[in-house]
Amino acid sequence: MNEPRFPARSSAWRPLLLGLACVAAAVAVGGCTSISYYAQAAHGQFSLLAQARPFDDWINDPDAKASLKTKLETVREIRRFAVAELGLPDNGSYKTYAQLDRPFVLWNVVAAPELSLKAHQWCFPVAGCVDYRGYYSQQTAQAYGDQLQQQGYDVQVVGVPAYSTLGWFNDPVISTFINYPDGELARLIFHELAHQTVYARDDTPFNEGFAVAVEEIGVDRWLAARHDDKMIEAYRRFDARKQEFLALLDKYRDKLADNYDSDASDADKRRRKQQIFDELRAEYAQVKAQRWNGYAGYDRWFAMPLSNAHLALVGAYHDMVPAFKELFARSSGFPDFYARVRQLAEMDKPARHAALGDALPDPAPAGRRKDRKAERTPL
């Protein structure tokens, strides 16, 4: 999940002015709590930018690790490909590197009601409404998540390796993802640059579905251009596991939705909810052992007690991807595809989703899934 942050131009003084403006806006819309939230966000963003140095500084640094220098050269190649072959923005993003002392750049808080998969939303002056709330401190994110749990919400606090500022800042490469395998590194950069290309306010499923479609199409082309059979095979295994994992989550998302939509009592729904999550854990363990040869890459997802919040955003990232891929297939290339997506982004949300759904040859199978995510409740 890549929460857009405070837009600002690349001039050194503009981020500070924007941060002050966001804090001032918080006074008007939410008082001290909002002031504190925007202050930590502005400080976190400015700190990240302050730590970022151009690639050449690191490459020419005798104390920098050789493995880091190799990865930065790979990012340069990925960046050039993104511009030349995918039509993604040619700007200052992903041309600097920041070494952080934490495993994630920020932590997102996701919340959902006890007996619903509808993610709650948080609304911001610039980015609009999104289905998560980001913090640069894990402790602060967890404290906020604890408050929501005390109010009866299911909550997940999840670490985020990267996010997009939608092109207003020059987003750096960060230590939180630089050591990803090359295919996954390319995927992430294509995804974040896609957010800089088209962004529809208040529509997480649209924005994330578009970015995932661009990353998947882009990685396929980038791997083909590399002519590295070993790398291609490694990425194919990674992607196959990911698709199987998503299918597993979707299966149990449907079971939970059926449970919450049933006429059972709340007490019975709670019991069935726990059974469903137990079944999900058991089937994951079976798939991991029997099909993935013990691959543990998704264990972190299961590290905390499962809740509705864990599944609330799965559809937001993936339900619209087939429609975007179909739209790309009907386009003459990336510029035409982006132009079509921009036209959709300019529509109101219901019309946008309806038009995108029309891109699918048979939208019927996704019908109930659309109903499940049709409405979000602001928090």
What is the DSSP pairing of strand 120-124 with strand 128-130?
antiparallel
The tally of domains found in the chain comes to 1
Amino acid at site 303: A
pLDDT at 292 > cutoff 60:
yes
Average pLDDT over residues 140-145: 97
Instruction: State both tokens at 190.
Output: 């294509």
Q: What percent of the chain has pLDDT over 70?
A: 86
Q: Answer whether 312's CB lies under 8 Å from 118's CB.
A: yes
Q: pLDDT tens-digit profile of 54-76?
A: 999 999 999 999 999 999 999 99
Q: pLDDT tens-digit profile of 155-195?
A: 999 999 999 988 889 999 999 999 999 999 999 999 999 99
Alpha carbons 166 and 366: distance in angstroms, whole number: 29
Res 313: pLDDT: 87
Q: Answer whether 112's CB lies under 8 Å from 78's CB.
A: no
Contacts of 211 (CB under 8 A, 6+ apart): 2, 191, 192, 194, 195
**Is residue 19 one of the residues assigned to a domain?**
no
Q: Answer whether 189's CB lies under 8 Å from 75's CB.
A: yes
**Is residue 237 one of the residues assigned to a domain?**
yes
Q: pLDDT tens-digit profile of 200-231?
A: 989 989 999 999 999 999 999 999 999 999 99
Q: pLDDT tens-digit profile of 68-118?
A: 999 999 999 999 999 999 999 999 999 999 999 999 999 999 999 999 999
**Is residue 211 one of the residues assigned to a domain?**
no
Alpha carbons 4 and 122: distance in angstroms, whole number: 12
**Is residue 370 one of the residues assigned to a domain?**
yes
Return phi, psi of residue 173, to 5°. Answer: -70, 140
Domain that holds residue 338: 230-378
Alpha carbons 129 and 106: distance in angstroms, whole number: 18
> Is 162 in a helix, a strand, or coil?
coil
Distances (CA, A) of 92 to 15, 89, 190, 272: 15, 9, 14, 50
Instruction: State both tokens at 14.
Output: 């503009």
**Is residue 240 one of the residues assigned to a domain?**
yes
Distances (CA, A) of 148 to 35, 151, 302, 340: 19, 5, 20, 39
**Is residue 306 one of the residues assigned to a domain?**
yes
**Is residue 108 one of the residues assigned to a domain?**
no
On average, the pLDDT of the chain sits at 87
**Is residue 272 one of the residues assigned to a domain?**
yes
Q: pLDDT tens-digit profile of 13-27?
A: 333 334 444 444 444
Res 357: pLDDT: 85
20: left (phi over 0), alpha (psi -120 to 50) or beta: alpha
Average pLDDT over residues 307-322: 90
